[in-house]
Amino acid sequence: MAALTGLEQPVAVPAARPPGRLRVWRGVVFLLAAAYFLVPLGASLWYTIYTPTAGVSFSAYGELLTAEGFASSLVLSLSLAVATIVLALLLTLPAMLAVRLAAPRLRPVMEVICTLPLVVPPITFVAGLTTSLRNGTDLLAPTPFWATLIAVQNPAFPIVLVLAYVVLVLPFVYRSLDAGLATMDVRTLVEAARNLGASWPHVLFRVVIPNLRSALASASFLTLALVLGEFTVARLLGYQPFAVWIVTISGSRGQVSVAVSILSLLLIWLLLLAVSTVFGREKK
C-alpha cells in the first residue's frame, strides 16, 4: 500500500499540473505571436493618424482615396488577380485530372515542372522576360504577330503580367489542387459519373469541382495574395499595379504610403474572408 502511494504521488501531481502550466504557456506564446503582428501594425497606424503638430487626424486616409492612381492601380491589381486565378485554374485543373486519369506515370514530371518557378528567382525570371520581349519585338516586327506582342503589353491591362503571374503561382496552385484531389478517389468518381451518362464537362462541373471547393479556394487565396503583393516583375516591366504604386508614392508622402499599406492589408483580409465564405458553404 505504502509503495503504491509513493508511486501514485509523482504521477498524480504532474497530471494535475500540466493543464495549468500549459495554459500559461499557451497564453505566453499567443501574446508573443500577437505582439509580433500587432505592434508594428499598431505603430504604423499611430504614425498615420498622429503628428506632433496637428495631433490625431485621419487626413492621410482621406488624402489617399483622392490621391492620383489609387483607384486605377487597385483596380488593375484586382483584375490581374482575377485573370491570373482563372487562367491558372483553367490550365492546371484539366491537366492534373488528365494526368491522374490517363497517365499517372507523368505525375512526377508534372510535379517538377509545376514546382520549378519556386527555384527560379523572380529577378532572373523578369530579366529573361524583358530580353524576350525586346528581341521578340525586333524579330516579329515584319510579321502580323508584332501587333499581338504589342497588345499583350498594353499598360491598361498588361496580359504579359498575367502570363508571368500564372508561372509564379503555379507551385501554389498545383500544391493546393494536388492536396484536394488526394482527398477523393477521382478515378472512381469520374467513372461512376460517366457510367451514369455524364458527359466530360458535366463530370468536371458537377462532380470534380464541387468536391474540390476548398482546394480551389486555397489556390485562389494564394494567387490573390501573391498577385496583390507582387512588386518585382511589375516594376521591372514598367507597369503600375497597387504594390508598385505604394512604393512610388511612399517617397513623396510618408504618412500616406503607410496608410495605404494598412488599408491594403485590410482589403486583402476582407477579400480572403469573402473568398472563404463563398467556397466554404459546402461544410454543413
Partner 1 sequence: MTAQVEFRGLRRVFGKTVALDGLDLTIEPGQFVALLGPSGCGKTTALRCVAGFERPDSGAVLVDGEDITNVPANKRDAGMVFQSYSLFPNLNARDNVAFGLRVRKVPVATRRAKAGELLELVGLPAHADRFPHELSGGQQQRVALARALALEPRVLLLDEPLSALDAKVRVSLREEIRRLQLDLGITTIFVTHDQEEALSIADRVAVLRDGRLEQCGPPAEVYDRPATPFVAEFVGTMNHLAGHVSGDKVTVLGQLLPIDGAAPGAAQVDVLIRPEAVQVTPADDGRAEVLAASFRGASVRLRLALAGGEVLADVPGHEAARLGPGTRVTVRLVERPVLVAERTVTAPAPQSVDADAV
* Residue choice 107, 199, 265, 277 for contact with partner 1 (CB under 8 A): 199
Question: Would you say 44 or 214 has its CB closer to partner 1?
Answer: 214
Cα dihedral 153, 158, 162, 168, rounded to 10, equals 70
Which cell is 244 given? 508598385
Q: What separation in angstroms does the CA of 140 have from each of 131, 153, 157, 160, 220? A: 14, 14, 21, 16, 35
Which cell is 281 given? 458553404
* Residue choice 28, 33, 277, 282 for contact with partner 1 (CB under 8 A): 282
User: Closest distance between partner 1 and the C-beta of residue 136, in Å?
Assistant: 42
User: Closest distance between partner 1 and the C-beta of residue 274, in Å?
Assistant: 22
User: Closest distance between partner 1 and the C-beta of residue 182, in Å?
Assistant: 14
User: Closest distance between partner 1 and the C-beta of residue 195, in Å?
Assistant: 5
Contact letters for partner 1, residues 202-231 (x by CB under 8 A)? x----x--xx--------------------
Residue 133 burial class via C-beta count within 10 angstroms: exposed 0-12, middle 13-18, buried 19 and up = middle
Site for partner 1 in 138-157 (CB under 8 A): none
The region of 27-35, 157-165, 192-200, 217-225 touching partner 1 under the rule CB under 8 A is 192-200
51 backbone dihedrals φ, ψ, rounded to 5°:
-130, 140
Contact letters for partner 1, residues 87-126 (x by CB under 8 A)? ----------------------------------------
Distance, CA of 182 to CA of 255 (rounded, Å):
47
253 backbone dihedrals φ, ψ, rounded to 5°:
-125, 100
Distance, CA of 81 to CA of 230 (rounded, Å):
10
Which residues in 98-123 are b (16+ Cβ under 10 Å) and which e? ebbeeeeeeeeebbeebeebeeeebe
192 binds partner 1 (CB under 8 A): yes
Contact letters for partner 1, residues 28-57 (x by CB under 8 A)? ------------------------------
197 binds partner 1 (CB under 8 A): yes
Question: Would you say 135 or 199 has its CB closer to partner 1?
Answer: 199
User: Closest distance between partner 1 and the C-beta of residue 85, in Å?
Assistant: 22
Tell me how many residues contact partner 1 (CB under 8 A). Answer: 19
Distance, CA of 163 to CA of 136 (rounded, Å):
16
Distance, CA of 148 to CA of 137 (rounded, Å):
10
* Residue choice 198, 204, 236, 267 for contact with partner 1 (CB under 8 A): 198
- What residue ranges bind partner 1 (CB under 8 A)? 184-185, 188-189, 191-199, 202, 207, 210-211, 282, 284
